[in-house]
Amino acid sequence: MILAIDVGGTKMAAGLVSDDGTVAGSRRVATPQGAGAEELWKTLLALVEPFGPADAVGIGCGGPMLWPSGEVSPLNMPGWRGFPLRARLEAMYGEARIHNDAVCVAAAEHWRGAGQGSANMLGMVVSTGVGGGLVLGNRLIDGGTGNAGHIGHVVVEPDGPPCGCGGRGCLEAVARGPALVEWALAQGWKPGAAAPSRDAVPYEEDRAVTGRTLADDARAGDEVALAAFRRAGRALGLAITAATHLCDLDVVTIGGGLSQAGSLLFDPLHETLREHARMEFARRVKVVPAALGQDAGLVGAAALILAADRYA
Amino acid sequence: MILAIDVGGTKMAAGLVSDDGTVAGSRRVATPQGAGAEELWKTLLALVEPFGPADAVGIGCGGPMLWPSGEVSPLNMPGWRGFPLRARLEAMYGEARIHNDAVCVAAAEHWRGAGQGSANMLGMVVSTGVGGGLVLGNRLIDGGTGNAGHIGHVVVEPDGPPCGCGGRGCLEAVARGPALVEWALAQGWKPGAAAPSRDAVPYEEDRAVTGRTLADDARAGDEVALAAFRRAGRALGLAITAATHLCDLDVVTIGGGLSQAGSLLFDPLHETLREHARMEFARRVKVVPAALGQDAGLVGAAALILAADRYA
């Protein structure tokens, strides 16, 4: 039984994971916004304290980070810049391994999820960002600095919108949830007009407009909302085309909030793949929804320790 | 001392390679055009016969092929379709390993060329086609069917020109030598007008127009020829951006005939990389000319045997 930790800008999660990848118990807490380095650390300590001692700890954390040393500077957690997260947890638990949170999700899907049994897999997370991790020849691929798997920055529209990375036309700039919403609003989308929310409360200006609102409207037939998902699905298809030609993949798993949009996103994705991935080896790639839910990050962080032959 | 063989649609080469990767002697022969399966085989037999017996043979061959079994169907050699090249050579030499010719070039550049000392490398060949091979974590990456490294089919212009693979807008459709020439001619390029050939013979209609003619004209200031190289360099930059975000590369080596154009191709390539590969880990990738010449294919084929821990 080891401890797994999953740290992001919105929430922190921790749990005990058994040798077969089962999460035996987990806790979550909102990441304090605007907090300094030590306040963030205390929040994490309070989260893990009830689990007591553990043999080792596996950590998933938002990037970037220095890797494998694990000084983290998560984009969405300004309080941690070069914070020695791995070293502090190693001092407490004796052994600690860390990787990018999206890489952990990919490891989890390969170990215990929709990528089980495949030797060559890309695991993607499509949410407020677009990230991923690569498993090739049954081994997690780190790359030179632990940053392999950044499919969110494959360029899908060379003259497309600016990206948070400083580039332009990246997959993430087109297909992250907020980008879909922003694009649809700019095209004249009126949120909730086509599909009042599930509990029949009409859309109000002060309500958060999310990819879910957009998906509801798309399902209700809103043309702009549908076009937003087509654009994102096409972008995903182009990036997966790049990945499978480069890496000769067996499977791509797609998780994260926006992937809940289902066929709204997957249909244009598959159509684009059929159009651009034509050689026999490229046609065989299977693109499937991720199988693990919100525990994926914990399972993957645990895999860094429990299945180190493949993931560490 | 083992035998290395490099089979392509234009020429076949063979040579003896010593343990340190030195080609001790090599021979070349034109690939007979329009030849049937057994005529092609006899040509190869005559090429290797003078070398006598060898302990093993490493083979590079144009794709596609079934791998690792090595039934080859090279696009540019219609006489071989499902030809059991590896099995026939194994029967003669006892041990035979095979890989795609561009993958062999990548292995060669990593083993003895411009990628030496890097753990994460993409080796590219830009010529009549655009191919490549990946080395990650100091290991040659095969992918599920031996086809990893097909960077030529990363999409760089989603609505771009049709590609030989059946897709559209692939790097190869934009940046292969003949595509540059075709694009320039369509834009009104008059071959040789700006730069009469090196031996001062004016361009004649019946003379083969090649990427070299185009490069000569570009160096002489022909605007269309310059634009053709800018377009190809930009396409290469976009595909390398995809590769380095996905694989966190240390080095990209670029060889092949068109790479001889030097800064005509490398300047727009680097400019595009600077524009699109912005995160620290992506900015660190070094894109350099390949170091091995026409023997690269033989050296890489030999590496499949002589450095099997990394390349087989």
Q: Which of A67, A118, A122, A246 to mutate to test the interface with B (most CBs of B within 10 A)?
A: A246
Complex ipTM value: 0.95
Q: Say yes or no to pLDDT of B24 above 70.
A: yes
DSSP secondary structure of B119-172: SSEEEEEESSSEEEEEEETTEE---TTS-TT-GGGSBSSTT--B-TTS-BSBHH
Contact (CB<8Å) A165/B279: yes
In angstroms, rounded to a whole number, what is the distance separating the alpha carbons of residues B127 and B261? 11
Å between A284 CA and nearest CA of chain B: 10
Please choose, from the candidates B203, B208, B263, B253, the residue with its C-alpha nearest in 3D space to the C-alpha of residue B232: B263
Please choose, from the candidates B32, B37, B26, the residue with its C-alpha nearest in 3D space to the C-alpha of residue B11: B32
Contact (CB<8Å) B153/A280: no
Q: Do residues A264 and A215 lie in contact, with contact meaning Cβ atoms separated by under 8 Å?
A: yes
Please give the pLDDT value at position A202.
45
Please give the pLDDT value at position A207.
47
Q: Say yes or no to pLDDT of B207 above 60.
A: no
Please give the pLDDT value at position B195.
80
Portion of chain B with pLDDT greater than 90, in percent: 91
Please give the pLDDT value at position B198.
53
Chain B residues touching residue A154 (CB < 8 angstroms): 241-242, 245-246
Å between A285 CA and nearest CA of chain B: 10
Contact (CB<8Å) B147/A248: yes
Please list the ranges in chain A whose pLDDT falls under 70.
196-208
Residues 6+ apart with CB under 8 A from A250: A118, A119, A120, A121, A284, A285, A286, B144
B65-66 and A96-100 beta bridge pairing: unpaired
Please give the pLDDT value at position B163.
96
Portion of chain B with pLDDT greater than 70, in percent: 96
Within A113-222, residue ranges assigned H as helices are: 171-175, 177-186, 211-219
Q: What is the mean pLDDT of residues B201-221?
A: 75
Contact (CB<8Å) B141/A247: yes
Q: Say yes or no to pLDDT of B162 above 50.
A: yes
Contact map slice: A 69-108 vs B, CB within 8 A: none
Please give the pLDDT value at position A198.
53
Q: What is the CA radius of gyration of chain A?
A: 19
**B275 part of contact set with chain A, CB < 8 Å:** yes
Architecture of domain B2-105+295-311: 2-Layer Sandwich (3.30)
Return the ∠ at Cα B266 (arms to B264 and B269), rounded to 5°: 115
Chain A residues touching residue B281 (CB < 8 angstroms): 64, 143-145, 147, 150
CATH 3.30.420.40, domain A117-291, yes or no: yes
Please give the pLDDT value at position A106.
98
Chain A residues touching residue B145 (CB < 8 angstroms): 248, 281, 284
Contact (CB<8Å) B246/A154: yes
Q: Considering only the beta carbons, identify the residue of A145, A276, A278 that sits closest to B248.
A: A145
DSSP secondary structure of B165-218: TS-BSBHHHHHSHHHHHHHHHHTT--TTSSS--TT-PPP-TTSPP-HHHHHHHH
Residue of B nearest to A234 (CA): B158
Q: Considering only the beta carbons, identify the residue of B137, B165, B276 that sits closest to A141.
A: B137
Chain B residues touching residue A282 (CB < 8 angstroms): 147, 150, 153
Please give the pLDDT value at position A203.
44
Contact (CB<8Å) B141/A167: no
Q: Say yes or no to pLDDT of B265 above 50.
A: yes
Contact (CB<8Å) B146/A248: yes
Q: Say yes or no to pLDDT of B8 above 80.
A: yes
**B120 part of contact set with chain A, CB < 8 Å:** yes
If DSSP codes are grouped into helix, strand and coil, which group holds residue A77?
Answer: coil
Please give the pLDDT value at position B297.
97
Please give the pLDDT value at position B202.
44
CB crowding B216-238: b at 16 or more within 10 Å, else e: bbbbeebebbbbbbbbbbbbbbb
Contact map slice: B 226-245 vs A, CB within 8 A: 234, 238-239, 241-243, 245
Contact map slice: B 142-181 vs A, CB within 8 A: 142-158, 165-170
Residue of B nearest to A163 (CA): B276
Contact (CB<8Å) B276/A154: no
Contact (CB<8Å) A248/B153: no
Give residue A217's identity as a one-letter amino acid code: D
Examine domains B2-105+295-311 and B117-291 and report if their fold is the same: yes
Q: Do residues B298 and B99 lie in contact, with contact meaning Cβ atoms separated by under 8 Å?
A: no
**Residue spans per domain, chain B:** 2-105+295-311, 117-291
